[in-house]
Amino acid sequence: MSYELPAAFEEFAAGRQSGFLRVKERKEQGGKVAGTFCAFTPVELLDAAGFLAASLCGMSNETIPIAETELPKNICPLVKSSYGFYLSDKCPYTYFADLIVGETTCDAKKKMYEMLGKGKNVYTLHLPQGIKAPYAKEQWISELHRFHDYLEEAFGVTITDDDLRKAAERRNEFRAARARMLNLLSADVPPVSGTELYAFLDGLGFVFDLDEAIKKVNDLADEMSKHVSDKVTPGGKRILVTGCPIGGVYKKAVGAIEANGANVVCYENCGGIKPLRNSVDLSNPDIYDALAEYYLHIGCSVMTPNEERLKMYPELFKEFKVDAVLDLDLQACHTYIIEGYTIKQLCKDYGVPYMQLETDYSEADAGQISTRIAAFLETLED
């Protein structure tokens, strides 16, 4: 008998659309909205300042042509799409945002934030590009303080250490709940397919009542863990998807994996498990120090060296019983594309087949992507 996903799951998966109305309502009641782009955004400060945080990452090809009237063509589609949403006013979250928070992660984003700042209220945090330098943590701590002071002054709020600690506790619970959902894929036959779960994870970027969401997501994880999905091919090869944020390409790529009889069992990306392996250490007496520790240990390829990412793989291989790795990178994402070579070597050391694909949001290469993925999966069967 086929297992139908619970209604609450579908509600979250539709979060990006349904969140519009909730945001509009909250705005009308005098609420404040912050747009975020990245796993490095210290959302605890936004929570403590009373903001609703919504994820603005551009995932659609639709807004790229308008973005290309101001941005070069040969850059990251996520950056172009995000900027296109602003230019075209097609994203209500961008439109309603009282504040947009950026971080100095990649070069394209950094310069795009400057342009976005001409029309929107943009605040950019300066993220250190590595954790080894002794001043890296100090820099990030002082950036967090600077952001705190900015929020207090610009929005007339008070954020105490205690508020921040409470926010961190809540975010820890939320991260743990998300991790539980991702861990559902570690089952031999999971209760949900990779594409379904990705839509769900995406929807969690538009959760505005954290306490309610934490409870619901945990309940879902309890309930779903008892079932198996008929959308998953039993015995299919188990694929770990890694690389760039894939919201704009997962249907094309993960769809091809599933259409060819394999299953995605782990998302290592920033929308997946990458920021969920650690939590904010609440036993640390200095909450800013605790936050800085947590954020700086996110294994993003903008960090040099990026040892945190490499550390994760052997654990993930084991936990998710991974047969092969697909590194899915967005056009012109230099750091992830180049780091692919290191990941390839690591996979080789562990005897795990690896393939890298570079793509964008268009459908132009859908046939090629599908052939490459099918051929890669065939090599696993041989």
Query: Judged by CB, which is closer to another protein: 288, or 354?
Result: 354
Query: Judged by CB, which is closer to another protein: 65, or 367?
Result: 367
Q: Between residue 118 and residue 157, which ones bind another protein under the rule CB under 8 A?
A: none
To another protein, the closest distance from the beta carbon of 375 in angstroms equals 4
To another protein, the closest distance from the beta carbon of 74 in angstroms equals 13
Query: Judged by CB, which is closer to another protein: 297, or 344?
Result: 344
- What region, left, alpha or beta, does residue 228 occupy, with left being phi > 0 and alpha being psi -120 to 50 degrees? beta
- Fill in the amino acid letter for 221: A
Query: Judged by CB, which is closer to another protein: 296, or 369?
Result: 369
Query: Judged by CB, which is closer to another protein: 352, or 374?
Result: 374
| DSSP line for 140-199 | HHHHHHHHHHHHHHHHT----HHHHHHHHHHHHHHHHHHHHHHHGGGSSS-SS-HHHHHH
N- to C-terminal Cα separation, the chain = 32
Residue pair 237/263 in contact by the 8 Å Cβ criterion: yes
To another protein, the closest distance from the beta carbon of 233 in angstroms equals 16
To another protein, the closest distance from the beta carbon of 137 in angstroms equals 37
To another protein, the closest distance from the beta carbon of 315 in angstroms equals 25
Largest CA distance in the chain: 64
Q: Is 261 in the site for another protein (CB under 8 A)?
A: no
To another protein, the closest distance from the beta carbon of 376 in angstroms equals 8
Query: Judged by CB, which is closer to another protein: 234, or 367?
Result: 367
Q: What CA–CA distance (Å, rounded) separates 204 from 218?
A: 13
Residue pair 9/132 in contact by the 8 Å Cβ criterion: no
Task: Give the dihedral sign, CA 28/29/32/33.
Answer: negative
Number of residues interacting with another protein: please give it, by CB under 8 A: 13
Q: Write the interaction track for another protein spanning residues 295-334; mark x where CB under 8 A is met and - where it is not.
A: ----------------------------------------
To another protein, the closest distance from the beta carbon of 61 in angstroms equals 15
Query: Judged by CB, which is closer to another protein: 241, or 347?
Result: 347
Phi then psi for residue 116, to 5 deg, are: -60, -35
Residue 3: closest CA among 162, 316, 153, 228: 228
Q: What CA–CA distance (Å, rounded) separates 58 from 78?
A: 5
Give, in order, the Cα–Cα distances in Å from 100 to each of 41, 259, 329, 343: 10, 38, 25, 33
**135, 158, 285, 382: residue in contact with another protein (rule CB under 8 A):** 382
To another protein, the closest distance from the beta carbon of 260 in angstroms equals 9
To another protein, the closest distance from the beta carbon of 223 in angstroms equals 38
Q: What CA–CA distance (Å, rounded) separates 194 from 209?
A: 25
Where helices occur in the chain by DSSP H, the ranges are: 7-13, 15-28, 43-48, 64-67, 77-88, 92-96, 107-116, 134-155, 161-183, 194-203, 210-224, 250-259, 287-296, 307-319, 334-349, 366-381
Q: Is 233 in the site for another protein (CB under 8 A)?
A: no
Q: Is 72 in the site for another protein (CB under 8 A)?
A: no
Q: Between residue 340 and residue 379, which ones bind another protein under the rule CB under 8 A?
A: 348, 358, 364-365, 367-368, 371-372, 374-375, 378-379
Task: Give the dihedral sign, CA 253/256/260/264.
Answer: positive
Q: Is 258 in the site for another protein (CB under 8 A)?
A: no
Residue 196: how many CA atoms within 13 Å on its side-chain side?
20
Query: Judged by CB, which is closer to another protein: 114, or 378?
Result: 378
Query: Judged by CB, which is closer to another protein: 160, or 368?
Result: 368
Q: Is 237 in the site for another protein (CB under 8 A)?
A: no
- Fill in the amino acid letter for 275: P
Residues that bind another protein (CB under 8 A): 348, 358, 364-365, 367-368, 371-372, 374-375, 378-379, 382
